Structure 1
Amino acid sequence: MQKDFYQTANIHRYSYGGTLRRSSKGRGARPLSSKDPIHLVFKVNKLVVKKGLRSPRHFALMTALMKKYSLRFFVGVEQFSIQRDHVHILLRGSRRSNIQSFLRVVAGQFAQTLTDTFTERRDGPSVWLHRPFTRVVKGYRAYQTARNYIQLNEKEALGRPYSKTRLRGMTAEQLRELWT
Structure 2
Amino acid sequence: MKQETFNLLKIPAKHRLCHGGILRRSSKGRGARTLSHRHPMHLVFKVNKAAVKSGLRSSRSFALMTRLLRRYAVKFYVKVEQFSVQTDHVHILVRGRRRSNLQSFMRVLAGQFAQCLTDTHSQKNDGPKVWKYRPFSRVIKGYKPYQIVRDYIQLNELEALGRPYSKTRLRGLSHEQLMELWV
- Matching of residues 114-129 of structure 1 within 5 Å: 114-129=117-132
CA distance in 1, matches of 2:83, 2:39: 16
Equivalent position SS for 1:76: strand
Larger CA deviation: 163-172 vs 14-23: 163-172
Equivalent positions of 1:88-107 (< 5 A) are: 88-107=91-110
Deviation track 1:83-104 (CA, whole Å, cap 9, x = no partner) reads 0000000000000000000000
**Which blocks of at least 5 consecutive residues in structure 2 are unaligned?**
1-10
> What's the CA shift string for 1:46-100, capped at 9, x where partnerless?
0110110000110000000000000000000000000000000000000000000
Aligned partner of 1:166 in structure 2 is 169
Which residue of the partner structure matches residue 18 of structure 1? 21
The Cα RMSD (Å) is 1.1
In the other structure, the counterpart of 1:179 is: 182
Q: Alignment partner for residue 48 of structure 1, among 46, 51, 76?
A: 51
Alpha-carbon distance between aligned partners in 1 of 2:176 and 2:157, rounded to the nearest angstrom: 18
Which amino acid in the other structure matches residue 12 of structure 1? H
CA distance in 2 between counterparts of 1:110 and 1:9 reads 33
1:178 shift after superposition: 0.7
Q: Deviation per CA, 1:99-148: give whole Å up to 9, x if none.
A: 00000000000000111101121123100000000000010000000000
Count the aligned residue pairs: 174
- Counterpart position of 1:4: none
Which of 141, 144, 149 is residue 141 of structure 1 equivalent to? 144
Equivalent residue letter for 1:68: R
The one-letter amino acid of 2:165's match is Y
* 1:79 paired to 2:112: no
CA–CA separation in structure 2 for the residues paired with 1:41 and 1:153: 12
The residue correspondences of 1:24-39 to structure 2 (distance < 5 A) are 24-39=27-42
Alignment partners' CA distance in 1, 2:84 and 2:155: 9
Deviations 1:147-169 (A, max 9, x none): 00000000000000001111212
The alignment partner of 1:159 has SS state of: coil
Aligned residue among 80, 87, 110 for 2:113: 110
Whole-angstrom distance in 2 between the partners of 1:91 and 1:134: 10
SS at match of 2:116: helix
